[in-house]
Amino acid sequence: MAQHSSKGARFQAVTANRLSDGEVVYLSPDNQWAETFAAADIADGPEAGDALMARALPADFELHVLEPYLFEVLQDGTQYKPASVREIIRAAGPTVRLDLGKQADAKRES
Partner 1 sequence: MYRYDEFDHQLVGERVKQFRGQVERRVSGELTEDAFKPLRLMNGVYLQLHAYMLRVAIPYGTLSSKQMRMQAHIARKYDRGYGHFTTRQNIQFNWPALDKIPDLLEELATVEMHAIQTSGNCIRNVTSDQYAAAIDGEIEDPRIISEIIRQWSTFHPEFTYLPRKFKIAVTGHDNDRAAIKLHDIGIVIKQNELGDVGYEIHVGGGQGRTPFIAKKMADFVPKAQLLAYLEAVMRVYNMLGRRDNSYKARIKIMVHETGEVEMRRLIEAEFAKIDASQMLAVPQAEIDRISAYFASPEFENLPATSATLDAAQAQDADFARWVRANVVAHKQHGYGIVNISLKPIGGVPGDATDVQMEAVADLAERYSFDEIRVTHEQNLVLPHIRLDDLKTVYDALNAHELATANLGLISDTIACPGLDYCNLANARSIPLAQEISERFADLDQQYDIGELKIKISGCINACGHHHVGHIGILGVDKKGTEFYQISLGGSADENASIGTITGRAFTEETIVDAIETVVTTYTDMRQTDERFIDTYRRVGLDPFKERLYAE
What residues line the site for partner 1 (CB under 8 A)? 6, 17, 19-24, 60, 62-63, 66-67, 72, 83-86, 89-90, 93-97, 100-101
| Residue with smaller CB distance to partner 1, 24 or 42 | 24
Q: How far apart are CA 60 and CA 51, in angstroms?
A: 17
Question: What b/e sequence results for 15-37 when a residue is b if at least 16 CB atoms lie within 10 Å of its CB, and e otherwise?
Answer: bbbeeeeeebbbbbeeeebeeeb
Q: How far is the CB of 89 from partner 1 (least distance, A)?
A: 6
Q: What is the DSSP secondary structure assignment for residue 14, as one 8-state letter?
A: E
| Residue with smaller CB distance to partner 1, 44 or 99 | 99
Q: How far is the CB of 4 from partner 1 (least distance, A)?
A: 9
